[in-house]
Amino acid sequence: MTMRNLLAFLSGEEESGNVVEAAFRLAGGFGAHVVGLHVKGNLADNLPFVGEGMSQRDVARTFEYAREQLNARETRAKEAFDAVCARLGVAMREIPAEADGLTAAWQVMTGSASSILSQLGRLYDLLVLSPIGAVSGGTAVGALEGALFQTGRPILVAPHMMPETIGRNIFIAWNRSAQAARAVAAAMPLIEKASKVTIGSVDTGSKLGPSAEELSASLAWHGVHADVRLFSDEGGPLAELLVSYAENAGADLMVMGAYSHARFQELVLGGVTNHTLRHVTLPVLMAH
């Protein structure tokens, strides 16, 4: 199994550099192709408040300010992408060629990030994005929702503080769900190459399905030795417990299912996925 075609969504905010770093660190292990995507919002959707009493000059200034902000985000996104490509000596390619190794391409589209990622993301093996809270407005939320719910593809959420490696020490947050199983399947190219794999499970009794020990036995057929760690529910937020366990295991990547509860319940009550997307401290590979 392998990953050959990755999409890195760059908002043009501060976190764009981390998204590029994460995408190329993963791609480097497979000699893969990384497409950097910036979605330039529609001008009308990015205007500050325009009141009826504003003069024509003030309205024109408001439009110009919004246009400048959109252009500035595009410039920052492109600069972040170019900087990593230049440092790594990555060749720019639009079509594949034999023995090309690590390659890249840049793409700018205009419209809704959620709508564009929902469709374009279906072409890629993995989508790399910023966490919620790293991008202003609803861009991050819309982008993540489109990527998770509409593409049928896994995503990798890149944290603010990037570890030196990604995927050498993998922590699988196993809750017996179909979503967690999809995440494990999507992460298999990384799991098979990892130096260490730990399966962490907090059994709350809310789901039926294979145990962590059964998952470990299944991974053994892929030549993967996975340690099993069973944790007790200490009553705190489950997401914080899982991240703490992953950090204690020295993990540089956490693999987990996304929104295994009803999405509305997660958003309103603050489920594991919602908390992780807002407070991610290490790279997280998710699938729904």
Domain-wise residue ranges, the chain: 5-157, 169-287
pLDDT of residue 277: 77
Rounded to 5 degrees, φ, ψ at 12 are 95, 0
Alpha-carbon gap, residue 224 to 195, rounded angstroms: 9
Q: Going by DSSP bridges, is the β-strand pair 155-157/284-287 parallel, antiparallel, or unpaired?
A: antiparallel
Contact 136, 73 (CB under 8 A): no
Alpha-carbon gap, residue 150 to 114, rounded angstroms: 9
- Tens of pLDDT along the chain (288 residues) come to 689 999 999 988 877 889 999 999 999 999 999 999 999 977 666 656 555 666 677 666 777 777 888 889 999 999 999 999 999 999 999 998 776 789 999 999 999 999 999 999 999 999 999 887 644 445 667 788 889 889 999 999 999 888 889 999 999 999 899 999 999 999 999 999 999 999 998 876 666 899 999 999 999 999 999 999 988 766 566 777 888 888 888 999 999 998 755 544 344 334 677 777 777 889 999 998
Q: Going by DSSP bridges, is the β-strand pair 103-110/155-157 parallel, antiparallel, or unpaired?
A: unpaired
Was domain 5-157 assigned CATH 1.10.10.60?
Answer: no
Contact 46, 62 (CB under 8 A): no
Classify 286 as helix, strand or coil.
strand
Domain pair 5-157 / 169-287, same fold: yes
Contact 55, 35 (CB under 8 A): no
Contact 7, 148 (CB under 8 A): no
Structure tokens given for 60:
């024109």
Q: Going by DSSP bridges, is the β-strand pair 103-110/126-129 parallel, antiparallel, or unpaired?
A: unpaired
Side-chain-side CA neighbours of residue 30 (13 Å) = 23
pLDDT of residue 268: 35
169-287 adopts what CATH topology? Rossmann fold (3.40.50)
Alpha-carbon gap, residue 196 to 107, rounded angstroms: 36
Is the Cα dihedral 122, 128, 132, 135 positive or negative?
Answer: negative
* Residue 133: DSSP 8-state: T
For the entire predicted model, the pTM comes to 0.88
Alpha-carbon gap, residue 128 to 250, rounded angstroms: 22
Residue 106's nearest CA partner among 194, 33, 14, 191 is: 33
